[in-house]
Amino acid sequence: MEAALALAELARLIAPPNPWVGCVLVRDGQVVGEGHTLEPGSAHAEVNALAAAGAAARGATAYTTLEPCSHHGRTPPCVDALVGAGVSRVVTAIFDPDPRVSGNGVARLRDAGVAVEHGLMAQEVRRQLRPYLHQRSTGRAFALLKAAASLDGRTAAADGTSRWITGPDARRDAHRLRAESGAVLVGAGTALADRPSLTVRHGQARPPRPPLRVLLDSSGRVPASGALFDRSLAPTLVFTSARSSATARHAWEAAGAEVFVAPERDAGVDLAVVLRALAERGVLQVLVEGGAFVHGSFLRSGYADGLALYVGNAVLGASGAPLFAGFEVAGMDRAPRWRVSGAERMHDDGRVDSEPAAAAPPRE
């Protein structure tokens, strides 16, 4: 199963919106076939492993990180392929929460006389597939907040400069996070201050489709110009509210962006609507890059699912820009608690990964 996990990781950039899955076929103690998910519409991990094994698949055990699919989509069911190839045993880590599968794959295998074992390395696979599992089970894209801050938690100096808080290693890693995300999101303040392109750069492997650029601008402040609206780089989706003018919305559309008029909540667009709309467009994970008010709104609403914090080696002082804004805590007993899930040194900088310690329900 460890080998299947490693194979699945090779498909992280190419498989979405499908899950990235690995499969290893073993017969008489020998690996006879391996495979992972390919691009949407192509063969799944199990079918690729069976093709590699050929006739040796008969009587083999299939180790697959996710329950084999049992429905007809753009490809036939993997369950049928496993049964037809004569696989005698399937070991899978977790059930697929997709309602078209969700236990049906395991049930159909057992009905066909295939022995099934379930739960091997389940925790590791759940972590690997966290965005997919979240999107399928909640109907919302997984919101991963990403920020770079100084040692004293500031994202910019008093004069507004922020280049560069972290060094090249950390910035390359941040672009890897972009490549692994189906969408990259910023608020109007960041779009106006930084004029970002929100593309994958710094030598990272490119996904087959560039991440969707997402702008939150409830009042129509951001002009429809610059790299963010360059259609040759990547598509752009603007979430706005009825407060924005028709002129602003028409200008965004004329520049080639999709415009989504969403209801307002807490003086901004409703984040629940945003995350559901992204999920409906096939986005599994959205990388929320800020700024401070956007990060604060995700925390306040309960829709922050993870945090990747890059910590630089500078100290910027009390007048620097805060990491979160518009987010107040009355006392320690009211403070949201997060659990550190990983930490990594990157030359003179560091990256700390965190997730909510308690699964408090979002404010719907």
Q: Are 213 and 238 in contact (CB under 8 A)?
A: no
Between CA 13 and CA 108 the distance in angstroms is 30
Between CA 138 and CA 276 the distance in angstroms is 9
Residues 6+ apart with CB under 8 A from 317: 152, 154, 157, 158
DSSP code of 282?
Answer: T
Measured CA to CA in angstroms, residue 112 lies from 55, 85, 87, 151 at distances of 19, 12, 11, 59
- At 358 the three-state DSSP class reads coil
Residues 6+ apart with CB under 8 A from 345: none
Residue 288 has a CB neighbour count (10 Å cut-off) of: 30
The length of the chain, given as a count of residues: 364
Strands 338-346 and 349-356: antiparallel
- Enumerate the active-site residues: 46
Between CA 336 and CA 162 the distance in angstroms is 27
Q: Are 117 and 87 in contact (CB under 8 A)?
A: no
For 76, the token pair is 């036939």
Between CA 91 and CA 310 the distance in angstroms is 38
Strands 183-187 and 321-322: unpaired
For 50, the token pair is 């069976």
For 252, the token pair is 């965004």
For 207, the token pair is 């996904």
Q: Are 125 and 165 in contact (CB under 8 A)?
A: no
Q: Which of 359, 287, 272, 290 is nearest to 327 (CA)?
A: 290
